Amino acid sequence: MQLPSTPSFRLDGKRALVTGASSGIGLGAAVALAQAGAHVVLAARTVEKLTECVEAMAAQGLSATALQMDISDIENSKTAINQQEAFDILVNSAGSARHSPAVETTQEDYDFVTDLNVKAAYFITQAIAKQLVEADKPGSLINISSQMAHVGGVDRAVYCATKHAVEGFTKSMAIELGPRQIRVNTICPTFIRTPLTVPTFNDPEKVAWLEQKIKLGRVGEVEDIMGAVVFLASDASALITGTSLLVDGGWTAG
């Protein structure tokens, strides 16, 4: 009797690009992919912080290089990507938020968040997909979305809109690229403890509200996202595309 074998979670020989990789979820994703055997290119705007991250990873024997890139500058980002060897894996982690009541949203805030969370993410995904198509290679493209792509949130109309949009273009790209064995998915975290969320977690009332909404009774840590990244990047998820992996502690379940 021949038993089935679990597909590998290893990423040896793979090349990965992670945007927003200098801190938080992006850095966690980069470390996770490298620990699974991939060579990871960490991309972000601040070269000093990127260099620090790459050096820390190298000290642990991980394969990583830095790429200074502002993804909101789409043409320069495309040029930077096209100067690289084709990537097998993308993790689009760069993003931002400016929260306010919907009736107080300014055009400046709307444009800033939309340009980064949707437009930049779209064209980075497009650039990596084009590389893979031209190289006739399979791949896994992962957009870091949010639980707010599946629900609404007070003071988060613009942010929710952008993440719903990410879900939309992810599904459409997955349909188009599926015949080429290029998978496109999202990871949808709940509130994760990162440098950007420090103000939220410094407010005891907000923390109590979060812990009540998250059914597992605790906020998320970067480590909670790392396994999901490796799973979607690897052959362990070979039949998964056009969908969302919710890492939300049960928030959207109820």
134 vs 85, 99, 119, CA distance in Å?
12, 40, 22
Residues 6+ apart with CB under 8 A from 214: 190, 191, 220, 248, 249, 250, 251
Residue pLDDT, tens place only, 29-64: 999 999 999 999 999 999 999 999 999 999 999 999
187 in any annotated domain: yes
Asked if residue 131 belongs to a domain, the reply is: yes
Q: What are phi and psi of 180, to 5 degrees?
A: -95, 10
Does residue 84 lie within any of the structural domains?
yes
Domain membership of residue 92 as a residue range: 15-249
Position 53 in a domain: yes
Could you tell me if residue 89 is inside a domain? yes
User: Tens digits of per-residue pLDDT, 162-211?
Assistant: 999 999 999 999 999 999 999 999 999 999 998 878 888 888 888 888 88
Is 159 catalytic? The answer is: yes
Report yes or no on 152 lying in a domain: yes
Active-site hit among 159, 191, 231, 251: 159
Residues 225 and 223: their CA atoms lie apart, in Å, by 5
The number of distinct structural domains making up the chain is: 1
Query: What CATH number is associated with residue 165?
Result: 3.40.50.720
C-beta of residue 9 within 8 angstroms of C-beta of residue 36? yes
The token pair that represents 78 in the structure block: 């495309």
Report the candidate in 34, 18, 38, 37 with the shortest Cα–Cα distance to residue 26.
18
The strand ranges marked E within 25-165 are 39-44, 64-68, 89-92, 139-144
Is 4 part of a structural domain of the chain? Answer: no
- Is residue 254 domain-resident? no
Q: What is the pLDDT of residues 59-101, one digit of tens each?
A: 999 999 999 999 999 999 999 999 999 999 999 998 888 888 9
